[in-house]
Chains A and B, each alone.
Chain A
């Protein structure tokens, strides 16, 4: 706001000097504590909690020894390839969406290919005899898996809900409004409780869904409602008259939405969609409460392991760093997508 040099801004007046001193004290205290704990007093080598007996700082051996558990949960070592293959394919499929030429292919892969892949290698429905315990998936893989499908299926559901709320006939409009507001009005944790406790009751006898599937159903409904509001914002942002122009060009309602309105709407709100994804990614940690070993759940379980008692701090700090890297990276991407924030 005022053009000043750095030093003048920091120590130019009594008030500024005071603020500087307070800030510097806070920074100095916090940073030196963190540096001492994380690096200088920390133990990096060893194989058991014995190695950290005399440590004055963090015991990173805990993280090192539990690393595969944090990544894959209880999955057996010979089944790691399933998780690795799936995550690489998902990464590839998602990155296709960012290039104009491969967008259509990317959409097909994400919405048709990846669910099939999930059924084939994660759920392992085609060759059940080569059994992998579906409840053994966990760790960061589970977090990514849930977040990926959660945001993916939120798109079609959210789009339908938004269109229904904006321009459906009365009954549909009311239904969409009700549906959106209910999911947005309740906390995710009650949704997860509902999907883990109530959903089994509503299924016919003999049909059973795994815990993972039930949680996914709840998360998709939840994130679909939030996505609906984001997309509705985009629909409102599309210039008026676009619909009239497209019908003058002879497009019917579905075509005009498909080729004219929705592409613009989604482009406008793409930063908001990414932000939505960041929230969802953070919210997937809640599946730990219904007893699933996602990344946070795995860390939590490891800190309760009697061989590694007393290293909760290390576990949580590691988890926080990983989550921070993901979310901060995505939020940077989102602000790069935002044409307003560039100026």
Chain B
């Protein structure tokens, strides 16, 4: 039996209204509680706190951040640090990942075995554990600054980071040991090394597997065709197989980039001053404005995730278009 169409539509609209009603009721119930709770605890509301002077220090800043800087500036410091470590890790994991992928693809039993061991080992260990291992077990057990490993009296490696010469006011300044730590030059903090290295290793295993799968997905006939055109194995790989495999590789690779970006938030666990550690950590603790701070943080991650996927989709569609013309 078929019901008249208008009855179906009316029924469907009724259900949708009920659904909206339930969602709104739940939301307003939560919001009501939240407002009452905030009132009771005397926590102020709104985004005015962003203009208040922060008054804390950040160990690594890409933009100047001093005593008079505001919470808003702290937000940007954290965001830039997040982007910085993500970009480093993406570059690193691409290089290492392609290396692993090729090693796994080649008909060489030893390189294949090595790559398989890397992928199978790294992928099955939590990222946080790897970062903890690098940070607490390796970097923290490096010698104190006064017993640093040194390379030609220019580069110093110790448990406070890697110190090397840098241009200050137009001339090179060498790091010099003063008291308990080095001054002058510049430093790569151990938190950054641990986070970037951990993300690089972890992601390289995933990218390696993707590269391998994409190379394998290319039709065998293309190898034979390239050989019959007189291309060497290397030329065939570079000119035919790799471009062809990129088509398959790109979409899942985008996902890996997104993962790196999101996983960089593990910074909070070792104290690298990223968005989560600085903003959702220190700023939240100082101001107590949990609602505003956490919603801003989540919005930023959402927005950037969205931007990355839009950019990669655009790139991907261009690639697909180019290929069609060939």
Contacts and interface: CB of A to CB of B under 8 A. Distances in A.
A319 B130 CA distance: 10
Given A10-B110, A23-B110, A190-B294, A316 B124 contact: no
A170 interface: yes
B302 A19 contact: no
Contact of A323 (B20, B126, B266, B284): B126
Contacts of A16: 108
Interface residues of A, number: 59
B294 A1 contact: no
Interface string A18-37: 01100110110000000000
Nearest to B275: A190
B133 interface: yes
A24 B111 CA distance: 9
A288 B269 contact: yes
Interface string A81-113: 000000000000000000000000000000000
Given A2-B107, A186-B298, A327 B125 contact: yes
Interface string A133-170: 00000000000000000000000000000000000011
Nearest to B110: A23
Nearest to B280: A193
A203 B31 CA distance: 9
Interface in A3-52: 4, 6, 9-10, 16, 19-20, 23-24, 26-27
A320 B129 contact: yes
A313 interface: yes
A186 B33 CA distance: 25
Given A201-B38, A323-B125, A190 B301 contact: yes
B312 to A, nearest CB: 14
Contact of B137 (A4, A6, A181, A316): A316
Interface stretch (B11-19, B242-250, B318-326): B11-19
B305 interface: yes
A328 B116 CA distance: 13
Interface residues of B, number: 56
Interface in B1-57: 12, 15-16, 19-20, 23, 30-31, 33-34, 36-38, 40
Contacts of A278: 124
Interface in B271-326: 276, 280, 284, 290-291, 294, 297-298, 301-302, 305-306
A77 interface: no
Contact of B294 (A172, A197, A203, A288): A197
Contact of B124 (A172, A205, A324): A324
A285 interface: yes
Contacts of B120: 328
A240 interface: no
Contact of B298 (A194, A197, A317): A194
Contacts of A288: 128, 269
Contact of A204 (B33, B265, B298): B33
A186 B302 contact: yes
Contacts of A286: 128, 266, 269
| SS of B interface (majority) | helix
Nearest to B43: A201
Of B30, B124, B262, chain A has the most CB atoms within 10 Å of the CB of B124
A175 to B, nearest CB: 7
Contact of A190 (B136, B269, B297): B297
A203 B127 contact: no
A175 B33 contact: no
A171 interface: yes
Nearest to A171: B16
A188 B301 CA distance: 11
Contact of B110 (A19, A200, A303): A19
Contacts of B140: 312
A331 interface: yes
A201 B31 CA distance: 9
Contacts of A20: 108, 110
A251 interface: no
A169 B15 contact: yes
Interface string A295-314: 01000100100000010110
B125 A320 contact: yes
A189 B268 CA distance: 9
B109 interface: yes
A55 interface: no
25 contacts: A2-B107, A4-B107, A10-B109, A19-B106, A23-B111, A26-B114, A169-B15, A186-B301, A187-B301, A190-B265, A193-B280, A193-B297, A202-B30, A202-B34, A285-B128, A285-B129, A289-B128, A289-B269, A296-B132, A312-B137, A316-B136, A320-B130, A323-B126, A324-B121, A327-B123
Question: Which 5 residue pairs across A and B have the least CB separation, nearest first?
Answer: A327-B124, A23-B110, A187-B262, A282-B126, A202-B30
Interface of A: 1-2, 4, 6, 9-10, 16, 19-20, 23-24, 26-27, 169-172, 175, 181-182, 185-190, 193-194, 197-198, 200-205, 278, 282-283, 285-286, 288-289, 296, 300, 303, 310, 312-313, 316-317, 319-320, 323-324, 326-328, 331
Interface of B: 12, 15-16, 19-20, 23, 30-31, 33-34, 36-38, 40, 106-111, 113-114, 120-121, 123-130, 132-133, 136-137, 140-141, 262-263, 265-266, 268-269, 276, 280, 284, 290-291, 294, 297-298, 301-302, 305-306
